[in-house]
């Protein structure tokens, strides 16, 4: 779990903010998105994936986990790295271990996540929650998907007995 958390925190700290003025015109809409994809491609090679490529026209990063059985179906996993057009400089995630069910204060921003306003927070009592500090977005929807895929591929590579 620690490796997963470290990977996730590393991903969310990278600025991949979209530029809405370039949406649909330039892909990716910011150079930082391509930088993240290149770093991610190197990580995929390091964990053992093959055929790692970035399509420069659409910024799709693809890689292959070679099958360890014959006639296996091909499965694709998809996530995106661009985040909303909101402040993404100096992202500072907050880790709330063993969440106690009370209000979560988002840094010094003045913002609070309250179980009264967000009752689903009660479903996560005792778990580790990761939030923004309230001054930036976290980009967790995008980066969590990427982290799950990379971590799953690494797990399969390290556990070839899984067929």
**DSSP string covering 120-160:** GGGGGTTS-EEE--SSS---HHHHHHHHHHHHHHHHHHH-T
23, 46: one domain: yes
67, 100: one domain: no
On average, the pLDDT of the chain sits at 94
Residue 148: its pLDDT value, please? 97
Residue 96: its pLDDT value, please? 97
Which CATH number characterizes residue 77's domain? 3.40.630.10
Q: Which residues contact 126 (CB under 8 A, 6 or more apart)?
A: 98, 99
Structure confidence by residue, pLDDT tens digits, 5-38: 999 999 999 999 999 998 888 889 999 999 999 9
33, 77: one domain: yes
24, 68: one domain: yes
Query: In whole angstroms, how far apart are CA 17 and each of 2, 10, 25, 29, 80?
Result: 26, 15, 16, 8, 12
116, 59: one domain: no
15, 80: one domain: yes
Structure confidence by residue, pLDDT tens digits, 62-119: 999 999 999 988 889 999 999 988 888 999 999 999 999 999 999 989 999 999 999 9
Residue 121: its pLDDT value, please? 98
Identify the bridge partners of residue 112 per DSSP, sorted by sequence position: 105
Q: Which residues contact 90 (CB under 8 A, 6 or more apart)?
A: 135, 136
42, 115: one domain: no
Question: What's the predicted TM-score (pTM) here?
Answer: 0.89
Distance (Å, whole) CA 83 – CA 12 = 10
151, 100: one domain: no
The structural domain count of the chain equals 2
pLDDT band of 141, cuts 50, 70, 90:
confident
84, 162: one domain: yes
Domain that includes residue 121, residue range = 92-135
Structure confidence by residue, pLDDT tens digits, 41-77: 999 999 999 999 999 889 999 999 999 999 988 889 9
């Amino acid at each position: 779990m620690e490796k997963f958390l470290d990977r996730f925190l590393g991903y969310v700290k990278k600025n991949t903010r979209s530029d809405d003025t370039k949406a649909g015109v330039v892909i990716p809409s910011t150079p930082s998105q391509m930088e993240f994809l290149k770093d991610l491609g190197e990580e995929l090679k390091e964990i053992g994936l093959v055929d790692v490529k970035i399509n420069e026209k659409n910024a799709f990063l693809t890689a292959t986990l070679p099958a360890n059985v014959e006639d296996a179906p091909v499965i694709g996993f998809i996530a995106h790295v661009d985040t909303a057009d909101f402040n993404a400089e100096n992202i500072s995630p907050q880790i709330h271990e063993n969440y106690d069910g009370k209000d979560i204060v988002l840094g010094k921003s003045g913002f609070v996540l309250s179980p009264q306003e967000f009752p689903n927070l009660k479903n996560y009592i005792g778990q580790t929650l990761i939030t923004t500090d309230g001054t930036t977005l976290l980009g967790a929807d995008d980066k969590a998907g990427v982290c799950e895929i990379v971590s799953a591929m690494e797990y399969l590579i390290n556990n070839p007995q899984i067929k």
